[in-house]
Amino acid sequence: MLYDAESGDFTLVAGGDTMITRRLRVFKEDSFLGLKRLFQDADVRFTNLEMLMHEFEHSPGAAGGTFTGSDPKNLKELEWLGINLVSCANNHSYDYGEAGVLTNLAHLRDSDLVYAGTGRNLSEARAPGYLDTPQGRVALISASSTFSESGRALDQRPDIKGRPGLNALRFSETHTVDRTAFDELRRISSGLGLEALKDAQRRFKPKGMVPEDTDTEFRFMGKKFLLGEEFGVTTRLNARDLEGNLRWIKDARRMSDWVLVSVHCHESGGHRDEPPGFLEDFARRCIDEGADVFIGHGPHVTRGIEIYKGKPIFYSLGNFIFQNDTVRWQPSFNYDLLKLDAGATPADFYDARSEMDSRGFPGDSIYWESVVIRCEFRKRNVHRISLHPIDLGHGRPRGQRGRPMLAGPDTAKKVLTRMQRLSRPFGTAIKVEKGVGLVQL
């Protein structure tokens, strides 16, 4: 007798960042229900849940920007749409501190969604979530390179509990500058008294905690600078986070039939559309250790696609549901930043933040046009990857925009032309047929 899972056939549909604050099932447009069918026809239906589910019963944590919060009942809306697998490691994981992390996890456990990326300690945050499907058991490992330090999950010790938080993917940056800039940075640091402060810290702290500067390597304002011939920035993964995540990927490879890795990354390479070097390195290492698909998200815009050793790497799928300006409440210091007094309402806050939709996310259509990918495996090999453009309603009133619909011809062409351009540097060609992108394998 042959089990379905032994066929090696498997279909994944995935969207990018989901910031949901409103109901979905009340809408009946053909282009919306068509998107729902796209998800429901797949074995695994993924999105990054960049929204904490709670009732604002906790104080804001040490984060920034939009503080996320949504009625926990909206998890049922995602289930209605077809979603069955979510990542929850992202820069909003700690918006409401430790209590917000734990409350969000409690609501996820009460739902039918499988999740990964946050936990009561680091082991839980790094460990895979497992989804059982007729086509086999699917593991998800979820991490984030963008986070508040206080929101990073910590290991337990024999004598103290771990810290709830997210699975962090730390990295370091090195800035290379020419001789003129290098010497000027040293002069500025000395003139401001920062060199004397570093010397005092070296005498006070354990040896090695404050690195020594050399004739070609110098630290200024928390940044590392190297003397070189030209300007440049290089990034390197934190060795412990790299090894810890790869260990769980190897574990998942032995515990499941399919392995997905999801990373939330706001950082960029030379420009916004380019992934940073450390993310490219990490994605390929994940494939090397047994991941079948790598899914990136975070910058709120789409990025290119790479096929590495026959496996797909999606560097960013952009936004999927983007209702971040109908979050019901924001903390007082967010109002203070915009010089709004205690009588200001949430609509006042969102109007001021975007200068009446002329700036920020509402001011640029690029954040409201993205893709949903469908990845089909046959006999464990990638058989077909299709890109389905979606339109989130840029320019519509606040109460309408943010809900994804299959894009019309003009938006679809714009989205797919961008995906072709961004994927070309990775050696990936995309053909367009009837408004759908097909990755040439």
- Condensed to tens digits (0 to 9), the pLDDT of residues 174-188 reads 999 999 999 999 999
- With 80 as the cut, is the pLDDT of residue 337 above it? yes
89-131 tens-digit pLDDT: 999 999 999 999 999 999 999 999 999 999 999 999 999 999 9
User: Are 89 and 21 found together in one domain?
Assistant: yes
* Domain match, 75 and 147 both: yes
* SS3 annotation, the chain: CCCHHHHCCEEEEEEEEEECCCCCCCCCCHHHHHHHHHHHCCCEEEEEECCCECCCCCCCCCCCCCCCCECCCHHHHHHHHCCCEEECCCCCCCCCHHHHHHHHHHHHHHCCCEEECEECCHHHHHCCEEEEECCEEEEEEEEECCCCHHHECECCECCECCECEECECCEEEEEEECHHHHHHHHHHHHHCCHHHHHHHHHHHCCCCCCCCCCCCEEEECCEEEEECCCCEEEEEECHHHHHHHHHHHHHHHHHCCEEEEEEECCCCCCCCCCCCHHHHHHHHHHHHCCCCEEEEECCCCECCEEEECCEEEECCECEEEECCCCCCCCCHHHHHHCCCCCCCCHHHHHHHHHCCCCCCHHHCHHHHEEEEEEEEEECCEEEEEEEEEEECCCCCCCCCCCCCEECCHHHHHHHHHHHHHHHHHHCCCEEEECCEEEECC
Does some domain include residue 353? no
Same domain (yes/no): 97, 176: no
294 and 197 within one domain = no
Q: How much of the chain exceeds pLDDT 70, in percent?
A: 99
Judgement on whether residues 219 and 77 belong to the same structural domain of the protein: no
> Among 57-66, 143-152, 199-208, 365-374, where is mean pLDDT lowest?
57-66
Average pLDDT over residues 349-361: 96
Grade residue 421 by pLDDT with cuts at 50, 70 and 90.
very high
* Residues 225 and 247 both lie in one domain: no
What would the pLDDT profile of 357-413 be if each residue is shown by its tens digit? 999 999 999 999 999 999 999 999 999 999 999 999 999 999 999 999 999 999 999
In this prediction, residue 64 has a pLDDT band, given cuts at 50, 70 and 90, of low
Confidence of residue 63 (pLDDT cuts 50, 70, 90): low
Q: What mean pLDDT comes out for the span 316-322?
A: 98
Q: Is pLDDT at 208 greater than 90 in this prediction?
A: no
Of 235, 253, 279, which residue sits at a domain end? 235
Same domain, 99 and 212: no
Answer yes or no: do 79 and 206 share one domain: no
Domain count, the chain: 2
What local confidence, expressed as pLDDT, does residue 1 receive? Answer: 62
pLDDT at site 65: 81
In angstroms, rounded to a whole number, what is the distance separating the alpha carbons of residues 420 and 432?
9
On whether both 177 and 305 belong to a single domain, the answer is no
What pLDDT sits at residue 179? 96
Domain final residue pick, 235, 266, 289: 235
47 within a domain of the structure (yes/no)? yes
Confidence at residue 209, expressed as pLDDT on a 0 to 100 scale: 87
* Shared domain check, 220 and 71: no
Report d(CA 402, CA 320) in Å as an integer. Answer: 8
Residue entry with tokens 């069918």: 37
372 strand-pairing partners: 388
**C-alpha span between 241 and 233 (Å, rounded):** 21
Section 22-48 average pLDDT: 98
Cβ-based neighbours of 269, under 8 Å, separated by 6 or more = 275, 276, 277
Q: Is the pLDDT of residue 25 over 90?
A: yes
386 C-beta neighbours (distance < 10 Å), count: 18
296 domain-assigned? yes
Query: Among positive and negative, which fits the CA dihedral 406, 26, 328, 355?
Result: positive
pLDDT digits (tens, 9 = 90+) for 65-93: 889 999 999 999 999 999 999 999 999 99
Whether residues 219 and 246 fall in one domain = no
Does 354 map to a domain?
A: no
Tokens representing 330 are 């924001």
**What are the pLDDT digits (tens) for 269-282?**
989 999 999 999 99
Decide: 38 and 388 in contact? Cβ < 8 Å.
yes
* pLDDT classification of 236: cutoffs 50, 70, 90: very high
Band the pLDDT of 210: cuts 50, 70, 90.
confident
Q: Say if 83 falls within a structural domain.
A: yes
**Which is it for the CA torsion 72, 41, 314, 139, positive or negative?**
positive
Judge whether residue 61 has pLDDT over 90: no
Domain that holds residue 304: 4-159+162-166+241-329+364-439
pLDDT at 3: 81
* CATH code of residue 83: 3.60.21.10
Of 195, 217, 235, the one marking the end of a domain is 235
Q: Is residue 349 part of a domain?
A: no
Per the structure block, which two tokens stand in for 28?
A: 């009946």
Cα separation, 226 vs 188, in Å, equals 16
Per DSSP, what are the bridge partners of residue 405?
391
Confidence of residue 247 (pLDDT cuts 50, 70, 90): very high
Is 339 within the bounds of a domain? no
Residues 199 and 259 in one domain: no
Look up residue 313 and give its amino acid. Answer: I
Q: 405-406 and 381-391 as β-strands: parallel, antiparallel, unpaired?
A: antiparallel
Assess if residue 397 is contained within a domain: yes
Q: What is the pLDDT of residue 47?
A: 98
> 283-317: string of b/e by CB count within 10 Å (b at 16+)?
bbbbbebbbbbbbbbbbbbbbbbbbbeebbbbbbb
End-to-end CA distance of the chain: 32
Cβ contacts of residue 372 below 8 Å, gap of 6+? 13, 14, 15, 35, 38, 39, 317, 320, 387, 388, 390, 404
Mean pLDDT, residues 44-53 taken together: 98
